[in-house]
A and B are shown apart, each in its own frame.
Chain A
């Protein structure tokens, strides 16, 4: 009784924080003028710094660790609320869904880079493999779209297997170079390959899950019509929730420990029986699968894909999301993806210079907050568990 009460009180800071963040995002996404956007940004930054200064962020963190299930629901509810607010706004809903899809891909990168220490600068390429798989399968086969999604992930994982040998044989920065080469090759390959549309790209069918047609607007009664992108928001949210839960479980198991050990000290790990390659392969494959999965839904949402979506620059965006958010912390991914994807869309001044912006953000973070905006907490294997 007493304990239940305590944990309910504890929910407040987290819920308030999410409510404030949601309200802020709604404002930020609705404001039209550039000046208004800038003012909001500044205000938001001051608010967050102030909250951090007075221990607000720490208390929010406690809410999340103390009542994980409840807080997860609060976040999902907030996302749905935001979607409801922009129910007929194509552009904003597309943006919201894009953010969620990028989160899935960034979660994949976290497993590779944040846990097992396998640097992957080909995130956009594996995302692209998912996209092209979806394009080819939806246009040329009658495969149910659930399987198309899975196929996107599986293809990315399989093609990633080609890179395994060089990635495993090299260490640290050298394996990063291997993946950079792969991204460049991938884009060139797409541009010269006429069956895959060459530089013009390919059309992709809209998603249809068990008769739920994602590209139809949703009509409720006579007067209310929701943008069809709301379907994709919900679809991506489901995918994101699954990916999030999966990555969480992975971290909270011996598998997560193994990946950490392999990242931190290969020699010590080998002296305790670790098959180093096994855990790197697992992380690399799992990560590419998530990126490919994200790519498949992204392609079906956009309806059209071209090689220019999958450049080295896009891979860098994924890496900067992971660095910015807090390496290995899924909640950090959520915050960082929102910042990195939404900011340039709203602040047009930045658009042209966005790579400059990402680069400077990453440098600042590495200099002043090397563990990221939301540093990863120590592993707790069973949430809420206390030693007796």
Chain B
């Protein structure tokens, strides 16, 4: 089978309203396995809403979302994560007073033994699981930034934004999801830091075979560099789709972004 032809996530007629505001209108969107899809559009065009509907934070008002062979429309956030979708947040939602390790283990929830008896009484087995978890988390952080991997037990609040982004992506990746949703990973970072983070993401992709990514981004350089395909939203509707070059040349897109009449 041709790996690139297989659809991993698809939205059909997806609609979300907030009162009178239509945040998503009849959205058709597809991402194929092993690809990076860029989601672009002006502020308020429904990009983050799309993530929130897919990950079960908001309930959709219409349409459906399929993931692999399953319909995941309006599943709970928990069920979406268990199905293999992990995300980052536009305003980094790390737990600042916890350590890097703690934060990454939050993302590993479905793979850790959560039984009370195991956690309280079977300390030897717990210790092994802890050791395994630590090795994996450290390996993952190393891909991003080796020095960071030596500071796993320091509070996240003491690290600069770029490290927090890295940690947040590690938290999403530690459970080996099939689909990673990145919500504006460059927000709050300098141009150099953004370039660096994108290098990291590309490198991680080569280590995680078959990882599919949807990325929301305003930095067109980033989009050009790492996406295979782009979808442009405006007022909750898809106005254009194609490779970055095709999209950038599109008249509707230029209007939406630059206000060209």
Contact = CB atoms under 8 A, between A and B. Distances in A.
A271 B57 contact: yes
Given A272-B109, A273-B110, A387-B138, A378 B98 contact: yes
A271 B171 CA distance: 11
Interface string B76-112: 1110111000110100011101110010011101101
A274 B109 contact: yes
A282 B114 CA distance: 12
Interface in A356-388: 378-382, 387
B78 A275 contact: yes
A246 B82 contact: no
A251 to B, nearest CB: 10
A246 B126 CA distance: 15
B120 interface: yes
A250 B116 CA distance: 9
A250 B77 CA distance: 26
B114 A255 contact: yes
Nearest to A386: B153
Nearest to A270: B77
A254 B57 contact: no
Contacts of A268: 89, 93-95, 106
B234 interface: no
A272 B76 CA distance: 11
A260 B96 CA distance: 11
Interface in B115-141: 116, 119-120, 123, 126-127, 130, 134, 138
Interface in A254-279: 254-255, 257-258, 260-261, 264-265, 267-275
A265 B93 CA distance: 8
Interface string B52-75: 000111000000000000000000
Interface string A266-296: 0111111111000000100000000000000
A381 B125 CA distance: 13
B4 interface: no
B123 A254 contact: no
B155 interface: yes
Q: How large is the interface on B (under 10, 10 to 19, 20 to 34, 35 or more residues)?
A: 35 or more
Given A254-B105, A257-B106, A271-B77, A379 B99 contact: yes
Contacts, number: 93
Contact of B97 (A264, A267, A382): A264
B76 to A, nearest CB: 8
Contacts of A253: 119-120, 126
Given A261-B95, A264-B95, A387-B152, A270 B78 contact: yes
A249 interface: yes
Contacts of B87: 271
Contacts of B116: 255, 282
A273 B171 CA distance: 13
Contacts of B113: 254
A367 to B, nearest CB: 19
Given A270-B78, A271-B55, A381-B130, A265 B152 contact: no
Contact of B153 (A257, A265, A380): A380
Given A271-B57, A273-B78, 14 more contacts: A255-B114, A257-B106, A258-B114, A261-B98, A268-B93, A270-B76, A271-B80, A272-B86, A272-B106, A272-B107, A273-B82, A379-B99, A381-B126, A387-B134
17 contacts: A249-B120, A253-B120, A254-B113, A255-B114, A257-B98, A260-B95, A268-B95, A271-B56, A272-B107, A272-B110, A272-B175, A378-B98, A378-B154, A378-B155, A380-B153, A381-B126, A381-B130
**Closest CB pairs A-B (n = 9):** A253-B119, A270-B77, A264-B95, A268-B93, A273-B81, A255-B119, A273-B109, A273-B78, A273-B110
